[in-house]
């Protein structure tokens, strides 16, 4: 239940505002936008972030600013959201920028890269580091303004039919995984496969692939991977804290009344907190049910983590050497993140580890 | 720099909305509220959360809903904010509810209690656990609606003139600390002192107290404690993720137009993310400067953490036995938190620890 339950229990309700604003209804501009999401409705927590944001905008404007949300494929295919917003076919999108890794790996830095930031660190870099500025510049060339609008938190490392005990077990591993993560695993001899969500289960079942990474307990449980793969590995080192983003076409943004611009930004911030909170509230129950049904949790061995890390750093050096845009953003990202981890290990890390030991 | 820099760099600006809304300026009600903060302006990150929220509200309403923010002591003394909102002397407050621990320890659960939730866990409990509902009921009896409006993240364990090597070093320790934390340390023989921020430095300097906890590197550096105490301990186990809160008088809330209610809630959410991001961006630099100037970081020994944890659990059992309101909320809080930590140690914890090792 959302926070409105606490409003009701405090004896107040959002719907009982005593002062009506009939004049607003007559005079404020009615604006109707379309938002194309990259996600299916079945990914209810991620997809739902856009609906949550649109609802907040409608409430804040008395229904005058309406953003109609379409799931991936309804009007725009999921992978085409970037271009649809860029071209102004739709005013907004809701997506994860690493889907556009193929256009330029720099886009991935707006979501997550292997051994990258957590959600807290992304928020700090976006608002008070150079993240907002650097990414604004880069996306701005495509007439897109990206706005943080969700995070999933650290993801799981995926479902495996066999255990991963040494780096040798990565060689030849046919694993459903994309983008930078797939490129890193290729360096270790894996065979990454890009397979859409709905096609993963049959591929794992048949053994066409040996492993698949998706998201975390809540979303993975829905796709039933536990029925066809026994081992659930952690952590998903390729997604330490992947940011989900709202895209706004910059020309359409400029046409908005200032008040609607302000409302859109804070509605995205509310959806941003909300998605993270929803995942955190839902994942524990799903994890317990998966383990209860026979799933075996496994931590990646240290040698696998170390080898993956080394391969990732090599990949970033290679990418930076070829791509000055990537280098510019990644250098700033890495420096900021290193300082974050210097601090986070002190109070946050020691406290968290103590509390885990008491569970 | 705030996110508006990325808007500028994407070629757009908040101020260049092409569509003016003159009709709004004539017809929407102008509402002017006063918000009493518990904090001094010198605590710029915490105090600033209220100003940030008020600015977002003004932008979203074209200046029609104005919330004037007063620092602690300007119109209401910091500790009197609860009563000022309850009585309707001011429409809003910005504070930390554990300041009202003396009225009822249950209030502390809205902020932080020893060995309590992190900021992520609080967000999940407030929005998708029972936190919002249970606290809404409790605060509602005092005509107050609390809204999450900031977090500091896990705090440091304070400044010490001598090292803490065993539990015996806690005995007789004169330490500036308040609320539940002080009660826990009393069980271990410490002598907790409630001293306001501005008076801590001279007390530490003269040796009237042996130690003092405040907040974290950014805020502590400003008060210069490093000049009078050498050892900086971690973690602040009494504040795993303390929530800062906006209070709204429930009668005043009910009089707001629905749109202003919706705007107020999402403006608080924006300030909530923003404060955490600001702390995370600022703390690393302050920590490096403190260590660079000679501060010695020390982790509390395991036996001290274990003894403190045991004393805290005893205190909660004692408090629950006497106070059914506390028991009702704490039982739910503890159960939710335990499930959170079950999950958090898996992906989040393993990833964080690996990244700390690479720093």
Which of B14, B132, B345 comes nearest A356 by C-beta? B345
Which of A118, A266, A297 comes nearest B269 by C-beta? A266
Instruction: Flag if A259 and B14 touch (Cβ within 8 Å).
Output: no
Residues with Cβ within 8 Å of A57's Cβ and at least 6 positions away in sequence, in order, are A65, A66, A67, A260, A263, A264, A267
Residues in chain A, overall count: 359
- Own/partner long-range contacts of B82-85 (Cβ < 8 Å, ≥24 apart): B82/B142, B82/B144, B82/B247, B84/B36, B85/B36, B85/B143, B85/B144, B85/B247, B85/B248, B85/B249
Using a CB-CB cut-off of 8 Å, the residues of chain A touching B119 are: 120
What percent of chain B lies above the pLDDT cut of 70? 92
Distance CA A359, CA A267 (A): 35
pLDDT for B196? 84
Q: Which of A82, A7, A90, A104 is nearest to A38 (CA)?
A: A82
Domain ranges across chain B: 3-150+242-280
Q: Report pTM.
A: 0.94
Please, which pLDDT band fits residue B4 given cuts at 50, 70 and 90? low
Please, which pLDDT band fits residue A84 given cuts at 50, 70 and 90? very high
Using a CB-CB cut-off of 8 Å, the residues of chain B touching A275 are: none
Distance CA B322, CA B85 (A): 27
Mutate to test the interface with B, among A118, A306, A348 (most CBs of B within 10 A): A348
pLDDT for B17? 46
Which of A133, A157, A263 comes nearest B9 by C-beta? A133
Using a CB-CB cut-off of 8 Å, the residues of chain A touching B347 are: 153-157, 216, 234-236
Tokens at A86, concatenated: 């860029």
Distance CA B184, CA B190 (A): 9
Sign of the dihedral through C-alpha B231, B236, B241, B242:
negative
Please, which pLDDT band fits residue A7 given cuts at 50, 70 and 90? low
Using a CB-CB cut-off of 8 Å, the residues of chain B touching A97 are: none
What percent of chain A lies above the pLDDT cut of 70? 92
Which of A18, A137, A358 comes nearest B254 by C-beta? A18
- How would you label B329-353 residue by residue, b for 16+ Cβ within 10 Å and e otherwise? bbebbbebbebbbbbbbbbbbbbbb
User: A317-350: per-residue pLDDT in tens?
Assistant: 999 999 999 999 999 999 999 999 999 999 999 9
Using a CB-CB cut-off of 8 Å, the residues of chain A touching B132 are: 1-3, 5-6
pLDDT for A197? 84
Contact A127, A193 (CB under 8 A): no
pLDDT for B197? 84
User: B284-300: per-residue pLDDT in tens?
Assistant: 999 999 999 999 999 99
pLDDT for B19? 53
Instruction: Flag if A14 and B262 touch (Cβ within 8 Å).
Output: yes
Q: Which residue of A has its CA nearest to B339?
A: A284
Instruction: Flag if B346 and A29 touch (Cβ within 8 Å).
Output: no
Contact B154, B116 (CB under 8 A): no
Instruction: Flag if B266 and A262 touch (Cβ within 8 Å).
Output: no
pLDDT for A17? 46
pLDDT for A51? 98
CA distance B328 to chain A (A): 15
The answer, for A210 touching chain B at a CB cutoff of 8 Å, is: no
Distance CA A351, CA A353 (A): 6
The answer, for B334 touching chain A at a CB cutoff of 8 Å, is: no
Distance CA A93, CA A84 (A): 8
Distance CA B308, CA B286 (A): 28
Instruction: Please give the interface size between A and B, counted as residue pairs whose CB atoms are below 8 Å apart.
Output: 391
Q: Is it the case that residue A242 has pLDDT exceeding 60?
A: yes
CB atoms within 10 A of CB B359: 13
Task: Tell me the average pLDDT across B4-12.
Answer: 49
* Chain B from 29 to 88: CB within 8 A of any A CB: 29, 56, 59-62
Instruction: Flag if A266 and B262 touch (Cβ within 8 Å).
Output: no
The answer, for B194 touching chain A at a CB cutoff of 8 Å, is: no
Please, which pLDDT band fits residue B115 given cuts at 50, 70 and 90? very high
Q: Is it the case that residue A26 has pLDDT exceeding 50?
A: no
Instruction: Flag if A278 and B236 touch (Cβ within 8 Å).
Output: no
Q: Is it the case that residue A8 has pLDDT exceeding 90?
A: no
Q: Which residue of A has its CA nearest to B13?
A: A254
User: B154-184: per-residue pLDDT in tens?
Assistant: 999 999 999 999 999 999 999 999 999 999 9
User: A115-125: per-residue pLDDT in tens?
Assistant: 999 999 999 99
pLDDT for A11? 44
Distance CA A208, CA A46 (A): 28
The architecture in CATH of the region A3-150+242-280 reads 3-Layer(aba) Sandwich (3.40)
Instruction: Flag if A20 and B257 touch (Cβ within 8 Å).
Output: yes
Q: What is the mean pLDDT of chain B?
A: 94
User: A217-231: per-residue pLDDT in tens?
Assistant: 999 999 999 999 999
User: A157-180: per-residue pLDDT in tens?
Assistant: 999 999 999 999 999 999 999 999
Task: Tell me the average pLDDT across A229-238.
Answer: 98
Please, which pLDDT band fits residue A1 given cuts at 50, 70 and 90? very low
pLDDT for A33? 98
pLDDT for B28? 82
Provide the CA B251 distance to its chain's centre, in angstroms: 25
Mutate to test the interface with B, among A347, A349, A357 (most CBs of B within 10 A): A347
The answer, for A25 touching chain B at a CB cutoff of 8 Å, is: no
pLDDT for B26? 47
Instruction: Flag if B6 and A132 touch (Cβ within 8 Å).
Output: yes
Residues with Cβ within 8 Å of B3's Cβ and at least 6 positions away in sequence, in order, are A126, A127, A132, A265
B65 phi and psi angles, rounded to 5 deg: -110, 105
Q: Is it the case that residue A38 has pLDDT exceeding 50?
A: yes
Instruction: Flag if B270 and A266 touch (Cβ within 8 Å).
Output: yes
Distance CA A270, CA A275 (A): 9
Q: What torsion do the CA atoms of B124, A2, B29, B275 make, to the nearest 10 degrees?
A: 10
The answer, for B322 touching chain A at a CB cutoff of 8 Å, is: no
Task: Tell me the average pLDDT across B120-137.
Answer: 98
pLDDT for A272? 98
Using a CB-CB cut-off of 8 Å, the residues of chain A touching B310 are: none
* ipTM attached to this prediction: 0.94
């Amino acid at each position: 239940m959302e926070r409105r339950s606490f409003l009701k229990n405090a004896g107040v309700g959002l719907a009982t505002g005593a002062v009506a604003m009939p004049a607003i209804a007559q005079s404020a501009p009615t604006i109707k936008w379309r938002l194309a999401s990259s996600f299916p409705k079945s990914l209810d927590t991620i997809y739902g972030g856009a609906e949550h944001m649109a609802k907040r905008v409608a409430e804040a404007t008395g229904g005058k600013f309406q953003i109609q949300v379409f799931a991936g494929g309804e009007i725009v295919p999921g992978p085409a959201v970037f271009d649809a917003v860029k071209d102004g076919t739709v005013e907004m999108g809701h997506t994860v920028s690493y889907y556009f890794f193929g256009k330029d790996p720099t886009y991935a830095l707006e979501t997550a890269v292997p051994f990258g930031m957590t959600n807290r660190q992304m928020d700090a870099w976006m608002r008070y580091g150079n993240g907002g500025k650097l990414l604004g510049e880069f996306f701005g060339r495509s007439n897109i303004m990206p706005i943080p609008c969700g995070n999933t938190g650290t993801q799981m490392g995926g479902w495996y039919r066999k255990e991963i005990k040494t780096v040798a077990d990565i060689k030849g591993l046919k694993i459903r995984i994309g983008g930078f993560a797939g490129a890193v695993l290729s360096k270790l001899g894996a065979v990454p496969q890009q397979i859409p969500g709905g096609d993963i289960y049959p591929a794992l079942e048949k053994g066409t692939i040996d492993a698949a990474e998706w998201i975390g307990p809540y979303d993975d449980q829905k796709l039933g991977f536990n029925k066809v793969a026994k081992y659930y590995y952690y952590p998903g080192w390729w997604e330490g804290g992947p940011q989900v983003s709202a895209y706004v076409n910059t020309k359409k943004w400029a046409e908005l009344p200032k008040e609607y611009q302000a409302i859109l930004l804070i509605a995205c911030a509310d959806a941003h907190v909300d998605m993270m909170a929803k995942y955190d509230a839902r994942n524990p129950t799903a994890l317990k049910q998966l383990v209860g049904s026979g799933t075996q949790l496994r931590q990646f061995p240290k040698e696998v983590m170390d080898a993956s890390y080394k391969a990732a750093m090599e990949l970033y050096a290679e990418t930076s050497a070829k791509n000055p845009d990537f280098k510019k953003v990644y250098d700033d990202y890495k420096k900021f993140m290193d300082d974050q981890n210097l601090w986070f290990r002190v109070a946050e890390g020691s406290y968290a580890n103590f509390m885990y030991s008491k569970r």
